[in-house]
């Protein structure tokens, strides 16, 4: 088949499968599988494609039509400009989560300017490792630990740390269960979707992403409560607890943190103007 015929075939298949971004995705498929970028395509739209690659296209297109996320098929997802390996064992890094990393990096650099050169950072519920690894890349002197309850997720995180040459430690732990010592920063994007809401999410998320990484139980706040309750034991004086939240969880989490005695609670918005990041500081009075 020619490039034009193939592009049309991809476009139509994705559209019929109800994939909203079918236009954008069909170009990604063409580049990923055949190495043909838009500019190459327009130079030679009637060029014949490699039949072996066409067979691979059929294989992955069949999966994509069943709404397997494109990132799982490609085995990669860009986050903070770094390529992260992903598969069904981890949540696909979201652009929203870049706000959490940007805020963490800003706070860590501030404290580095104020004399804390090598802050201890814990990324709790790390999944693919995208948060902690990006922080380590951007603040190389920080001492970063990644933890997750899922062995599979930790394998993915370890693979990403190696590939991106980030020197981090990995701990398999159910929240703080195996965590020892005290940290300057505890950063987490825990599961926060209320169980009932999951049913209504896109099939890519609902049917393929690990529910362990999404399900925040009935009200979505289960992990925030648990983490906030225990965090003070693992935070140094002045230490910071920093969370990603769902857009409607800011007030609830503020209350949870205030009750637990956290100070300087702040909420920041993401690029869409929605509440996305919450921080609190452990100060003993």
> Can residue 214 be called a binding residue for ligand GLN (CB under 6 A)?
yes
What residues from 232 to 271 belong to the interface with ligand GLN (CB under 6 A)?
Answer: none
Rounding to the nearest 10 degrees, give the CA dihedral for residues 67, 205, 127, 186: 150
Shorter beta-carbon distance to ligand GLN: residue 109 or 206: 206
Q: How far is the CB of 5 from ligand GLN (least distance, A)?
A: 35
Helix (H) or strand (E) holding 100: helix 96-113
Shorter beta-carbon distance to ligand GLN: residue 143 or 202: 202
> Can residue 79 be called a binding residue for ligand GLN (CB under 6 A)?
no
Binding mask 91-120 for ligand GLN (x = CB under 6 A): ---x-x------------------------
Shorter beta-carbon distance to ligand GLN: residue 94 or 182: 94
Q: How far is the CB of 223 from ligand GLN (least distance, A)?
A: 9
Q: How far is the CB of 15 from ligand GLN (least distance, A)?
A: 23
- Which residues share a beta bridge with 170? 146
> Can residue 205 be called a binding residue for ligand GLN (CB under 6 A)?
yes
- By Cβ distance, which residue is nearest to ligand GLN? 192
- Which residues share a beta bridge with 84? 77
| DSSP H helices in 164-221 | 195-198, 203-208
What residues from 157 to 196 belong to the interface with ligand GLN (CB under 6 A)?
Answer: 189-193
For the four alpha carbons of 76, 155, 91 and 260, in that order, the dihedral sign comes to: negative
Q: Which of 262, 263, 267 is nearest to 230 (CA)?
A: 262
Mutual angle of helices 3-16 and 51-65, in 10-degree steps:
10
Number of Cα atoms under 13 Å in the Cβ half of residue 155: 6
Binding site for ligand GLN (CB under 6 A): 94, 96, 189-193, 205, 214
């Amino acid at each position: 088949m020619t490039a034009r015929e193939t592009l049309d075939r991809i476009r139509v298949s994705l559209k019929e499968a109800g994939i909203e971004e079918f236009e954008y995705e069909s170009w990604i498929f063409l580049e990923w599988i055949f190495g043909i970028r838009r500019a190459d395509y327009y130079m030679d739209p009637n060029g014949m494609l490699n039949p072996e690659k066409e067979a691979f296209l059929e294989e992955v297109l069949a999966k994509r039509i069943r709404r397997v996320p494109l990132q799982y098929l490609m085995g990669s997802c860009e986050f903070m400009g770094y390529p992260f390996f992903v598969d069904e064992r981890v949540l696909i890094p979201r652009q929203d989560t870049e706000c959490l990393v940007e805020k963490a990096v800003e706070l860590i650099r501030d404290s580095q300017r104020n004399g804390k050169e090598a802050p201890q950072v814990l990324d709790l519920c790390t999944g693919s490792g995208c948060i902690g690894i990006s922080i380590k890349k951007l603040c190389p002197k920080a001492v970063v630990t990644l933890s997750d309850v899922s062995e599979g997720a930790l394998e993915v995180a370890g693979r990403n740390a190696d590939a991106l040459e980030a020197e981090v430690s990995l701990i398999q732990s159910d929240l703080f269960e195996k965590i020892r010592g005290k940290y300057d920063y505890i950063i987490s994007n825990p599961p926060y979707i209320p169980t009932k809401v999951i049913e209504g999410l896109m099939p890519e998320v609902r049917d393929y992403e690990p529910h362990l990484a999404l399900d925040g139980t009935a009200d979505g706040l289960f992990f925030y409560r648990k983490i906030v309750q225990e965090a003070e034991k693992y935070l140094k004086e002045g230490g910071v607890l920093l969370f990603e939240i769902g857009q409607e969880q800011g007030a609830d989490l503020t209350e949870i943190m205030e009750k637990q005695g956290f100070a300087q609670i702040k909420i920041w918005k993401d690029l869409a103007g929605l509440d996305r990041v919450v921080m609190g500081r452990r100060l003993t009075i």
